[in-house]
Chain A
Amino acid sequence: MIDIVFLTFKELMRRRFFAGAAIATALLVGITGWGFVYLNGIHTAHGAPVTHLEVLTMTAVLLILIAYLFSFLLAMAAVFIAAPSLANDIESGVLLPVLTRPMSRTEILAGKAVALAIVVAAYAFVTGAGEFVVVRAATGYLPPHPAEMLAFLALSGIVMIALALLLSTRMPALAASIVAIVLFIIARLGGIAQSIGTYYDNETVRHAGTITQLLLPSDAMWQAALYRMEPASMIASFSAAHVWPGPFFVTAPPPGAMLAWTIAWIGAMGLLAARSFELRDV
């Protein structure tokens, strides 16, 4: 298995994924960093400089919006590297001589999954940490639980890797990628439905959202990450105002059991993918 892990790293390096990701990260952190520096010096319409508290509030909100967009980017990156990793190797024939070696297909799949999970988690942590460092330097703001937030964000990416790998055991890379992205969006809409159902106390809508989140827990992990980015004052004000917080805020994290469910879900997807790959004619 370890040979497949290293081979996958080497492929991503030779195909310039790391270089591309580094440039994308530098651009994201650089441009948003400049924006946050600029935010510090802006003035109100009346010419008065914004207060530090206003800067912190705006930064907290903007950082959540950036994280929201980055969570999409991370999901797509996870899907678009995971689906071709297996499906293209099967379709092109690259895997044929490897599959006749005394490794099980499960080992090959596990090797790819481990390598991809490490890469996606590293991408989330490096980009996220870079963003937090720059924002902290520019505004003095740091989310309440940055490490936990990034861990949940990375986990949402790993959920997408598991899904894309499962689909790619039976589908071409492009089809697997599209299906995975569509399911990701459905899960995100399910999260929004759940929040609406909770706010309006509508069980049907809430349960529909919950079921969606259980079927694909990427959004639950995003909500867990989101909750760890929100300052206590923000949560308190949303709770006190009794307004629907919208798709970018949550007033409570997903239940603790959701983390266990997500880990079990990833494991189950891995087992299903291994079974599907073992039984497939190549």
Chain B
Amino acid sequence: MAYDNTPVIDVHRLAKRYGGVQALADLTLRVQRGEVFGFLGPNGAGKTTSVKLLVGLVHASAGSGSVLGYRLGDRRARKRLGYLPELFRYPDWLSAREVLHFHARVCGHPVTVRAVEDALLLVGLAARAGDRVATFSKGMQQRLGLAVALLGEPDLVVLDEPTSALDPSGRLEVREILHRLRASGTTVFLNSHLLTEVEQVCDRIAIVTKGRVVAQGTIAQILGARNAVRVRARANGAALEAVLERFGNVMHEDGALVVQGVENGRVPSMVNALVAANAEVFAVEPLSATLEERFLELTSERGR
């Protein structure tokens, strides 16, 4: 296939402007085959615009890119693409099964009746498959949307806030589905602002704010960038802080001192300096931020 040796998503400096509003300023990212890629950002950051650019619903104002090896918007890529929109609506005058059969006919490759029933079963709609969509709750419609996106085993599944209407058990089911997709080698592009969801399922993430990617990498890479150390030590108070300030900004936190901006390689030097200052050192622990802290840090930095 055309995309075997190329990234599934590879976009460079994509921008989108709606009239006078810059919805997306500079999106550069690369998603490799088989990855579950999380796309995070605050409201209005340009996430949904980015997703719509990737699936060909909107046209880029600038930049270039490819999806599944084909230029953005190329219809050939859509044969192997599944998409759950943020605004998920399906014809309310059709039954769930009819919606899936319609998509099975137009998805560009053969999908068996059995595959339709399997998709309904997977998202927990088998018992309501014959009912009109008009009778479905929002959560059920989102499940239907997920079934539509997964129909025909696409190589790339783009999910825009896939659990926004689901209850906790529904969210758990979606996480299990995402784990299964990863196990089967399907690439997943997950747009979400549910950080725990992203933390639990994604191999790599990108954080976008004000239309620009501000961090991209594995979760460990993004969290590890905090460079903070918590120190529990006893000495003449002023002397202790004076020593630590040589290594970074010192803050008080829960009866300990947190030194921010300390690279891991300098931690032994910091301990030596404390000992040289006659401090009693009880604990020195490198801190890793939670994804939430890191997210807020990165997105508020951009807001300044």
Contacts and interface: CB of A to CB of B under 8 A. Distances in A.
Contacts of B59: 279, 281
Given A15-B93, A93-B88, A101-B78, A282 B58 contact: yes
Contacts of A3: 102, 105-106
Interface string A90-111: 0011101111111110000000
A277 to B, nearest CB: 12
A258 to B, nearest CB: 38
Contacts of A201: none
Given A97-B149, A101-B78, A102-B78, A281 B58 contact: yes
A101 B80 CA distance: 9
A49 B75 CA distance: 72
B145 interface: yes
Interface string A239-282: 00000000000000000000000000000000000000001011
B136 interface: no
A7 B59 CA distance: 27
Interface in A14-51: 14-15
B91 A101 contact: no
A282 B57 contact: yes
A15 B94 CA distance: 10
A203 interface: no
Contact of B91 (A94, A100, A279, A281): A94
Contact of A104 (B18, B58, B75, B105): B75
Interface string B26-70: 000000000000000000000000001001111100000000000
A110 B11 CA distance: 32
A101 B18 contact: no
A30 to B, nearest CB: 29
Nearest to B57: A282
A282 B89 CA distance: 14
B90 interface: yes
Q: Number of contact residues on B: which range applies?
A: 20 to 34
Contacts of A96: 57, 83, 85, 87, 89
Contacts of B90: 94, 97
A11 B93 contact: yes
Given A3-B102, A3-B105, A281-B58, A102 B149 contact: no
Contacts of B108: 101-102
A56 B148 CA distance: 61
B195 interface: no
A98 B106 contact: yes
Nearest to A14: B93
A279 B57 CA distance: 10
Given A3-B106, A101-B107, A279-B59, 7 more contacts: A14-B94, A92-B89, A96-B89, A97-B84, A97-B148, A97-B149, A99-B57
Interface of B: 18, 52, 55-59, 75-76, 78-79, 81, 83-85, 87-91, 93-94, 102-103, 105-108, 145, 148-149
Interface of A: 3, 7, 10-11, 14-15, 92-94, 96-104, 279, 281-282
